[in-house]
Amino acid sequence: MKRWTSGMRDSFFDSLYAIAKRDSKVMLVISDTGAICHDEFKRRLNNQYINVGIAEQNMVGVAAGLAMSGKIVYIYAIVPFVTARCYEQIRVDLCCMNLPVTVVGIGAGFDYSTLGPTHHGTEDIGLMRLLPEMTIYNPSDSLMAGLLAKISYKQPGPKYIRLDRTGFPLVYKNERDIDISNGFSMLKQGKELYIIATGRMVYNALQVARKLSTQSIHAGVIDLFRIKPLNVEKIWPIIKEVGHVVTLEEHFVTGGIGSTISGILITKKNIPVFKSIGIPNQFCRKYGTRECLQYINKIDVDSVTESIKEWIRNT
């Protein structure tokens, strides 16, 4: 039976609120992108909550000033607005200064499916990967999202966490199943193939693996939840044991985890055959449900399953 839970955003901010109640140094700064899960901050911790209005670039500057005065700061907006719109400010104010500010982007991938390419979070990993000092997390379910609020609170330096708004079936049973230190989890061991997925696509990868097993293709699944820094020393010994490696992401194929993993492979000998599956490097101008946009871009479960089967047959 599928186990559903509250949305990633709710889990993350419920966890952060519990931390902020104990530590007045924790600040939440938003740019007029509201959410019901922020209501407790506004009502009960109003001295730790700032809405700068629709001014994302200014939000980063405010966060940097607060961090320099000893605060632990979280900034929040929709993915393209909190990354691309204020990229220079993140680069200079946060990364050059190595400040303890966590950038929280809501709407990973096609989460805002009905609002068009202006609101799609499809190139943010590529942007944030380029920045020195930046750590990137992409949780696969709400349990991990809540845990990352606790992890980011203790971790120095700038961080980027990309979240979904809604809930979907849990990948993990409880927080104790998640070892954050490795930066990834092996959810299913593979014999001939590993699917390395991140974020929402981890659940899809598990479904793909089940479908492939009915075709006698034994695929393992790795949840890559810390995209940067990548734990090469731990992940390479696992993937080198199989003949095929696939990356799966709801992000442009350019700059995402496919680029990250391929960057490892070109430095190694006797590497597995590699395939990157993600959104083609073009804006999706179609509108509909998230599942519809995944189907159009061939990253839905059935399309990915068929793509992998054909690829293995021809390699």
**For the domain that residue 256 is a member of, what is the CATH number?**
3.40.50.920
Same domain membership, residue 55 and residue 148: yes
Nearest-angstrom CA–CA distance, 228 and 240: 20
**Structure-token pair, residue 30:** 């938003």
Q: Assess if residue 1 is contained within a domain.
A: no
pTM of the model: 0.95
Nearest-angstrom CA–CA distance, 150 and 129: 22
Percent of the chain with pLDDT over 90: 89
Q: Assess if residue 215 is contained within a domain.
A: yes
CA Rg value for the chain: 19
Q: What is the mean pLDDT of residues 240-269?
A: 95
What pairing do the DSSP bridges indicate for beta strands 159-163 and 135-137?
parallel
Tens of pLDDT, residues 144-172: 999 999 999 999 999 999 999 887 789 99
Same domain membership, residue 151 and residue 220: no
Looking at per-residue confidence, does 238 or 35 come out higher? 238
Amino acid at 33: T
pLDDT of residue 176: 82
Tens of pLDDT, residues 205-243: 999 999 999 999 999 999 999 999 999 999 999 999 999
Q: Assess if residue 174 is contained within a domain.
A: no
Mean predicted lDDT score pLDDT of the chain: 94
pLDDT of residue 1: 33
Tens of pLDDT, residues 88-143: 999 999 999 999 999 999 999 999 999 999 999 999 999 999 999 999 999 999 99
Quote the number of domains for the chain: 2
**For the domain that residue 31 is a member of, what is the CATH number?**
3.40.50.970
pLDDT of residue 193: 96
Q: Assess if residue 315 is contained within a domain.
A: no
pLDDT at residue 296 tops 70: yes
Nearest-angstrom CA–CA distance, 219 and 156: 36
Which domain, by its residues, includes 292? 179-309
Looking at per-residue confidence, does 201 or 179 come out higher? 201
C-alpha angle 4-205-315 in degrees, rounded to nearest 5: 170
What DSSP state is assigned to residue 109? B
